[in-house]
A and B are shown apart, each in its own frame.
Chain A
Amino acid sequence: MAKMKGAEILVECLKREGVDVLFGYPGGANLPIYDALYDSGLKHILVRHEQGAAHMADGYARATGKVGVCLATSGPGATNLVTGIATAFMDSIPMVVLTGQVRSYLIGNDAFQEADVCGITRPITKHNTLVKNVNDLARVIREAFYIAGTGKPGPVLVDIPVDIAQAETEFVWPEKVEIRGYKPQRFMEGHKGQIDKAAHMLLDAKKPVIYVGGGAVMSQAADEIRELVDLVGAPVTTTCMALGIYPEDKPNSLRMLGMHGAASTNYAVQYCDLLVNIGARFDDRVTGKVETFSPKSKKIHIDIDPASIGKSVAVDVPIVGDVKRVLKEMIKEVKASDKKPDYAEWWEQIHEWQKKHPLTYQMKKGDKLKPQYVLEVLSDLTKGDCLMTTDVGQHQMWACQFYRWTRPRTYITSGGLGTMGYGLPAAIGAQFGKPKERVICLSGDGSFVMNIQELATAVDHKLPIKAIILNNGYLGMVRQWQELFSKKRFSYSGIRAPDFAKVAEGFGAKGITITKPEEVKPTLERILADKECWVVDCICDEEEKVFPIIPPGKAIDEMIMDMA
């Protein structure tokens, strides 16, 4: 059998894993890999900063459910990936990260562009491996894809020294993956007895809330969530990682919960008698002060990761299993029962809360442009026909609140790590994964400049991405916290943005600035109909805040509703 170079083996493995695009940036230590890519037929997207490559692979993975792939060189190339890897890790996104490394015999010598990348990324990867022998390469790559995409997904990094990429060996494709310390299929089914118990608790409850997180999205369980919710008629709320898994325009939806969830939703969670957590993790942004969280409810927790269960909130019925499979069983048990759930009184209470505390904002004639209005118009114009990525801060939360989410995998955001600069590269990755979707990057004037260089990548590939910036001249969420909790001492939260429309033009995209409410609709209509990449700079009211807010360290029913 003809021998192949390590780099060629890598490329062959990527093809066999079904990779249709990878995002990367060349440099000294991955030159042999780039040489092998040159005429490989694999689609490679040249980014402008390695952080962009990591977020693109992540955005691709979130939009498609497939494993995203990125590639960087050693040292600074690899360290530039770190924020992107941590972002994916916190949100359990399947990703394979390939890094070049200095030659094996130089490792540990402080060689040019050397960094201990496996050491640096150990706490932010599901697994990582430094390849020390070219004969291991195919197996390591195969295992990387398997580990990244199964169980609780996550990023896996493979560090490949130059000499390993150049070394030659016979290519052997491992047909099967056998890792004795990793048996995710062990945790797929869920305990039948526990599932049945959960089903009956739901049927017997008087005041249930179903609380759905990103794990349900990973598990492709939208149909099962919808079926279960509609079958029993229970209220359902989602974290920002699962927006759209149950359509928000249907009456059973309580939309998002947590720090910036609707007040009525947080009341429902706080006062329910049964909380069914499906693939969420009782994050601190959801629980508020954990000792006071939903004190009277029994709690069911379905999660594929045993370590997620009981980590912060004690649960009564833990179910370790794949959400989709567990729900299928649970639905069967519900259907087999002749019990009829009766939540009428509970719904009455919830409707009362909803009426008393609607999610709303005010915009009087002559007021400055309100950011919430931009999202309302966008929601009306697109009617869910949009895949939105965001950055982090006020705009991210307004998008949760004022856009009506009706499909899973359409709201793509850095939920766990809260990474500013995520939105634009994630939009590019998502657009490559879903060429037919209308991709919008919603951003803020602080976040957008953090990876603005990727406009060049978007323009290179004529991607019709629309970036909408809610520009208020401040790091708005920081400003809001300073106003509410630091006596209006606006310490370094004011930030001067560039003329985004001009910057966009400089990159070869189109740009426009709007300042008035009446400009919003015609402008959005115009750019949404256009095939080019657009940047819309919306100059908004800097005083506007995200309400309600659960102040840090408070219980979830201790929200601040508004400034009154």
Chain B
Amino acid sequence: MAKHILSVLVENKFGVLARISSLIAGRGFNIESLAVGETEDPTASRMTIVFDGDEKTIEQIKKQLNRLIDVISIQDLTKEEHLDRELILCKVSVTAKTRPEVTEIAQTVRAEVADVGVKSLTLQLIGDPAKIKTFLEMLKPYGVKEIVRTGRVALARDTAGG
């Protein structure tokens, strides 16, 4: 099953997130990630929702979301050129011996060292899913203690000349 990315513009009001997540949960749809934040217009928020599902399910999700009064518009980014990024914080175990190796990996993938501990380093990486996956695999041998990810945010690309 393919991954789908929906970019949903909604009213920036209390209860809207609950409305959307309960609609999705109530119909038994599976979300991989959901990220939400204010937009250039403070009365609207943009949600980036990543789903796993076949065409029929995605069509239903789009239609059901469109029914909600607080949903202003929906864009199915899967079908157009888009940018998507995710931020990940990853706490990795280090020893005196491995610390330079982990730092080097960070430099290679342009991750930042966000925090330095006695026995750990916390790295911050922004990237698309493929990059994040590689990054995590590279860190795995050192012992990944904790991970947190924001979920993907996405925007349609401007078409040539647009």
Contact = CB atoms under 8 A, between A and B. Distances in A.
Interface of A: 118-119, 122-123, 126-127, 130, 147, 152, 179-182, 305-307, 310-311
A181 B69 contact: yes
Interface centre among B26, B68, B69, B72 (most CB of A within 10 A): B69
B157 interface: no
B18 interface: yes
Interface stretch (B58-66, B85-93, B110-118, B141-149): B58-66
A126 B66 contact: no
Contacts of A179: 69
In the A-B complex, the 10 residue pairs with the smallest Cβ-Cβ separation, listed nearest first, are A307-B63, A181-B72, A127-B69, A182-B69, A123-B26, A306-B63, A181-B71, A180-B72, A181-B69, A307-B64
A119 B69 contact: no
Given A179-B69, A181-B71, A182-B69, 10 more contacts: A118-B15, A122-B18, A123-B22, A127-B68, A147-B69, A180-B72, A181-B10, A181-B11, A181-B68, A181-B73
Interface string B7-49: 0001100010011001100100000000000000000000000
Nearest to A126: B69
Interface residues of B, number: 21
Contacts of A123: 22-23, 26
A253 to B, nearest CB: 32
Contact of A307 (B18, B67, B69): B67
B23 to A, nearest CB: 7
A133 to B, nearest CB: 12
B10 to A, nearest CB: 8
18 contacts: A118-B15, A122-B19, A123-B22, A123-B26, A127-B69, A179-B69, A180-B72, A181-B11, A181-B68, A181-B70, A181-B73, A182-B69, A305-B67, A307-B63, A307-B64, A307-B66, A307-B67, A310-B59
Contacts of A305: 67
A131 to B, nearest CB: 12
Nearest to A311: B60
A305 B68 CA distance: 12
A311 B67 CA distance: 14
A127 to B, nearest CB: 4
Contacts of A180: 72
A130 B16 CA distance: 12
A307 B22 contact: no
Contacts of A127: 68-69
B87 to A, nearest CB: 29
Contacts of B73: 181
Given A122-B22, A306-B63, A311-B60, A130 B72 contact: no
Nearest to B11: A181
Contacts of B64: 307
Contacts of A152: 67
Interface centre among A119, A126, A307, A311 (most CB of B within 10 A): A307
A170 B71 CA distance: 30
A119 B59 CA distance: 26
Contacts of B59: 310
Contacts of B26: 123
Nearest to A152: B67
B60 A119 contact: no
B72 to A, nearest CB: 4
A152 B68 CA distance: 12
Contacts of A306: 63, 66
B23 A130 contact: no
A320 to B, nearest CB: 10
Contact of B60 (A118, A147, A307): A307
Contacts of A147: 69
A152 B63 CA distance: 13
A181 B71 CA distance: 5
